[in-house]
Structure 1
Amino acid sequence: MYPDTLALLKQLVQNACVNDFTPGSGQEVRNADTIEEFFADVDTHVDIRRFEPEPGRVSLVVTVAGTDEAPPLTFLGHTDVVPVDVAQWTTPPFDAVVDDGKIFGRGTVDMLFLTATMAAVTREVARRKARGDKPKGTLQFVALADEEARGGLGAKWIAHNHPSAVNWENCLSETGGSHIIGTGGEDSVIVYVGEKGAAQRRLHVTGDPGHGSAPYAKDHAVVKIAEVARRIAHAQPTITDSEIWRGFVHAFRFDPATEQQVLSGTNYAALGTLAAYGDAVSKLTISPTVLRAGQAINVLPSHAWLELDIRTLPGQTQDDVDAVLIDALGELAEHVTIERLICEDATISPTDSFLYRAIENTLHGLFPDATVLPMIAAGGSDLRFARAQGGTGYGFAAHAKERTLGEMHAQLHSHDEYLHLEDLDLTITAYWELTRAWMY
C-alpha cells in the first residue's frame, strides 16, 4: 500500500484545495475527483456518493459493505488545507517535494497523510472483497470538504442534511500518534478522545458620539472597549482537575513538587515546547482576536466591540463562559452587551469502548513499552459531529517515538510543513492492523 499511498498523498497536496473561509475557496472537487479515481479498479465493490452543497465543495462517502458480523467502522478524512504565506516557505508548498526522508507541502500533516492512508486501507478491503474475502463489518471512508472552516459545507452539512449517509458509530480521524517522553525515557503515545468546544463572543460597548475636535466630558467607546480588553486579558479561569489533565502531566514524570506546580497552572514553563498546549487543555481559554471601533478619524465612535475566541473544556456550558466574562468585567459588566457567536460544546468519547481498546491493542503492537495516553485536542475536528450523532470518535495515527507531541503540534499550519515518510508507513501499518483485526 505504501507506494500507492505516497503517490496519492502527493497528488492531494498538489491539488492545492486551499480553504481561506471565503466563498468558492477550497474547491475540494479536485481532491474528490483524485480520490474517486483512486478507487477505479474496485468501483463495482464500493459505493461512492458525492455531496456538493455549493459548487466545487465536494465530499465523498465511500462504502465497502460488510456482512454485519462486526460493527461498522468509519474513517473521517478531510481534503481541504489552510492558506500559505509562500514567501516564508523554502520549498514550494504545493509541489509535494520528497527530500531527506520527508515530504514537504501544505496539508502533509494536517491531514492529507491520514486521508491518503484511509483511502488506501479502504481500497485494500475492497480489493479483498473482490477476491471473495468479505469484511465482517461495513467500512466507510469519508473524504470531507471544509473542515478547516468548521465543517459548514462538509461534515456539519452532511450531519444536518444527510445524517444516515455516514455510519457515525465508530469513527477515526485526526490526528494522535505522537509521543511524550518522560524524564526517565518513559514513552506515552497520544490518542485524542475529545476536543475543546467553541464559545465565540462579541462584547459591545457604547459611548457618546461627537466631533473629534471636542472630546471634553465625552463617554469614549474606544476607552471603554480598551478597558474591557484589559480586564478580559486578566481573567482567571479555574484549572481543571480532570483525569485526562492529570494523566497528561504525569506522563512527563516530573518530581512531585514540579508536577503539582504544573497541575495547578503555576508552572506551565516546565512543559517546555508544550507550555501553550498545557495551558490550553487545562482550562477555559479566552483569546481577544478582533477589535472594531469608528470609521472616520474626526468622528468619536458611539459603538465599539471586541471579539473573543473562547474554547471550553468538556462539561463547561455556555452559561459558564458568560459567568467568567462577567466576573472578569466586574462593575463594568452592566455596560457591556455579550453577544454569542459560534457556540459548540466540547465533546469527548469514553476510553472503555470497543474502538478505543482496538486502538490500544494496535499501538501496543507498534510500541510495546509505551503507555497509551488519552488526551483532548485544543482545536476542533470533524469527530465532534460523530459524537453529536451518538457515536464515538478518536484521533488516531502512529508516529515514530522520536516524534514528540510538541514537534507534531509545531507542524500544524506552519511554514515548510512536512511529514516523515517513516510516519506515513507507520500510520498505514496502524490503520491496516486495526482494520484487519476488526474486519477479518
Structure 2
Amino acid sequence: MTDNVTGTDLFAESLALLQTLVRNACVNDLTPDSGQEVRNADALEEFFTVDPAVRDAVTITRLEPRPGRTSIIVTVEGSDPDAEPLTFLGHTDVVPVDAARWTVDPFGAEIIDGKIYGRGTVDMLGLTAPMAVVTRQVARAAAAGAPPRGTLTFVGVADEEARGGLGAKWLSEEHPAAFSWRNCISETGGSHLPTSDGSDAVVVVVGEKGAAQRRLHVTGDAGHGSQPFGRDFTVARIAEVARRIAAHRPAVSQDPLWQGFVEAFRFDPQVQDALLTGADDDAYLEFGDLARYADAVSHLTVAPTVLRAGQAINVLPSSAHLELDIRPLPGQSDEDVDAELRDALGDLAGEVEIERLISEPAEVSTTDSPLYRAVEQTVGEFFPDAAVVPVLAAGGSDLRFGRRLGGVGYGFALNARDRTLAEVNAQLHTHDEHLHLEDLDLTVRAYAGLVDRFL
C-alpha cells in the first residue's frame, strides 16, 4: 500500500472518524438501555457541524424511541426533486466483546501493520464512517454552489445488532418519511470470490434470508426421579426431537441467485451440477472456507440452539422445549417452515407443539434498478475485469425495512483483490476484529464514485 493511496483527505477523514466511533464503545447487548448510540450520534453531529459552511448545507434530525438510543439523519438536498435520491444507511452500535480473548484493546482503534483493530471496524463502523465522510464532501460542494441533482442522506442508525427494534424498524414504522428509503446502501458486499480459474468476481448483497424462530414443545410423565420404571420420559422425547431436526436436510434452493453464485466459481460441470441439484453434499467442500456460507444461502437452515427441560435433579419433568434458529429463503412462508419441521419429525409430529416466535420473510431487491447498475459500474471502475455477483446474506441487515417500504437496498463496500468473502465474513463478531486500511480507502473512494455516478 503506497502512501498516495492512503494520503487522500477522504481516507484521512474516514480513519479519524472511524477511530472516534470505535472508541465511543456503543455496545448493544440486546437490552433496552444498552448501546447508548447517543455517543456516536453526538460525534457525527459534531463532524457535520464543525465547518460552518457544511452546517448550513445540511439538515440534521435526531430521533430516539428511548433515552440514549439515538439515530441521526443528515440530509443534503438535491437540486432536482424528480431525481433519484440515495441514502447511506450505516449503523452505529456494535456487539459485545470477550475482552479476555482479545490481544488488543477492543475499543482502542489501534493501527497495527496496516490494519485498524477494534469492535465494529468491519461490522459496520468501517462503512459508516466513509458514508459520513462522502456525505460531508457532497455538503461542502453544495455549500459552494454545486448541490447534487438528487438528495443524499446519511443515517447513523441505532440498534441494528438487536434487529432494529429501537432503530431502523422503529424509524420505518414511526417515522417512515424522515428520509427516503427508495435507494439505500448498507452492509456489506465488495469482497472477492476465490474462483477455480483465478478470475475475479466481486459480490454485492442484494437480499437476506428471513427469520422463522420456533419453539418445539413436548410433554411426558412427571414423577419422582427415584422411580423411573415405565415412565414416558420427556427428556428422551425432546432429545429425539433434537436428533431428528439436526439430521433433516431441506431441499436445495432453485433461486437464480444460488445458480449465479455457483456459476461464478467456474467449477467443473459435475461439481456444479451436484451443487445446483443437491445431489451430493460433499460438493460444498469445493467452496473451501465458504462452505458453511454457501450451504446457508442455498437451503432453509434449521439450527437447534436452546434446550430446556427440568429443574430439580430428582424430579422427572413433564414438559420440555427446543428452540430453533431458522432462516428461510426468499419465497418460503411460515407454513412452508412448519411443514418442513413436521416432515423432519416424522411420526413424532403429532406429539410436538410448534410455537412461532420471531417471523420475518426473506427480502430481496431487484438487480434491474438504476442503483444496482451504478454499483456495477463503480465496481468496474476499480476492478475492470471483475464479474459482479449478486448474493444473499445469511444474516439480517437494516435494508429489509427499506425493501418493505418499496425501496431497493444493496450491501456494498469495496475490498482489495485478495480479500475474499470468507475472510471478511470471518471478521464479523470475532475476537481481534480488524479492517485493512487499504479496504477503508477503497470503500470511501468507491462511495464517492457511486454518489457522483448516481446523483
Instruction: Give the number of equivalent residue pairs.
Output: 439
- Which residue does 2:42 correspond to in 1? 33
Say which of 320, 335, 339 aligns to 2:351: 335
Cα-to-partner distance string for 1:53-104 (whole Å, 9 max, x where unaligned): 1121111111111122521110100001111111111111110000111101
Q: Distance in 2 between matches of 1:23 and 1:70?
A: 38
Q: Is the 1:284–1:313 Cα contact (8 Å) retained in structure 2?
A: yes
Q: Does 1:13 align with 2:29?
A: no
What letter corresponds to residue 28 of structure 1 in structure 2? E
Would the aligned equivalents of 2:371 and 2:454 in 1 still touch at CA under 8 Å? no
Contact 2:293/2:394 (CA < 8 Å) preserved in 1? Answer: yes
1:12–1:112 contact (8 Å) kept in structure 2: yes
Task: Give the match for residue 425 of structure 2.
Answer: 409
Partner of 2:5: none
Give the match's secondary structure for 1:39: helix
Taking the aligned partners of 1:29 and 1:149, their CA distance within structure 2 comes to: 16
Given that 1:70 and 1:438 are in contact with CA atoms closer than 8 Å, whether structure 2 keeps it comes out as: no
Given that 1:181 and 1:251 are in contact with CA atoms closer than 8 Å, whether structure 2 keeps it comes out as no
The residue that corresponds to 2:57 in the other structure is 45
| Aligned partner of 1:74 among 79, 87, 95 | 87
- Give 4+ residue runs of structure 1 displaced > 4 Å after superposition: none
The answer to whether the aligner puts 1:186 opposite 2:199 as a matched pair is yes
Q: Matches of 1:51 and 1:18 in 2, distance apart?
A: 19
**Corresponding position of 2:376:** 360
Moved more, 421-430 or 238-247: 238-247
1:88-124 deviations in whole A, cap 9, x for unaligned? Answer: 1111111000011110111000000110011001111
255-264 vs 376-385, which deviates more? 255-264
Alpha carbons 1:262, 1:270 under 8 Å: kept: no
Tell me how far apart the structure 1 counterparts of residues 274 and 165 of structure 2 sit (CA, whole Å).
40
State the distance in 1 between where 2:325 and 2:179 align: 30
Give the equivalent residue in structure 2 for 1:95: 108
User: Percent identity between the aligned chains?
Assistant: 64
Partner of 1:3: 12
Q: Which one of the candidate residues 49, 60, 76 is aligned to 1:64?
A: 76
Q: Alpha carbon RMSD of aligned pairs, Å?
A: 0.9
Q: Check whether the contact 1:207–1:219 (CA below 8 A) recurs between aligned residues.
A: yes
Mark the runs of 5 or more structure 1 residues left unpaired by the alignment.
none
Q: Does the aligned pair in 2 maintain the 1:349–1:394 contact within 8 Å?
A: yes
Any idea what SS the aligned residue of 2:89 has? strand
CA contact (8 A) 1:284 1:310 kept: yes
| Partner SS state of residue 128, structure 1 | helix
- Alignment check: 8 A CA contact 1:178 1:403 kept: yes
State the Cα deviation string for residues 299-322 of structure 1 (Å, max 9, x = none). Answer: 111110000000011111111000
| Matched residue type, 1:248 | F
Cα separation, 2, equivalents of 1:183 and 1:206: 51
Letter aligned with residue 305 of structure 2: T
Given candidates 276, 279, 295, the residue that maps to 2:311 is 295
- The answer to whether the 8 A contact 2:90-2:156 is kept is yes
* 2:3 alignment counterpart: none
* Residue 132 (structure 1) aligned to one of 130, 141, 145: 145
2:331 paired residue number: 315
Alignment of 1:132-281 (within 5 A): 132-265=145-278, 266=281, 267-281=283-297
Distance 2:401 2:162 in 1: 14
| Matched letter for residue 59 of structure 1 | S
Distance 2:432 2:250 in 1: 35
Equivalence for 2:340: 324
Separation in structure 2 between the aligned mates of residue 111 and residue 157 of structure 1, nearest angstrom: 20
TM-score, scaled to structure 2: 0.95
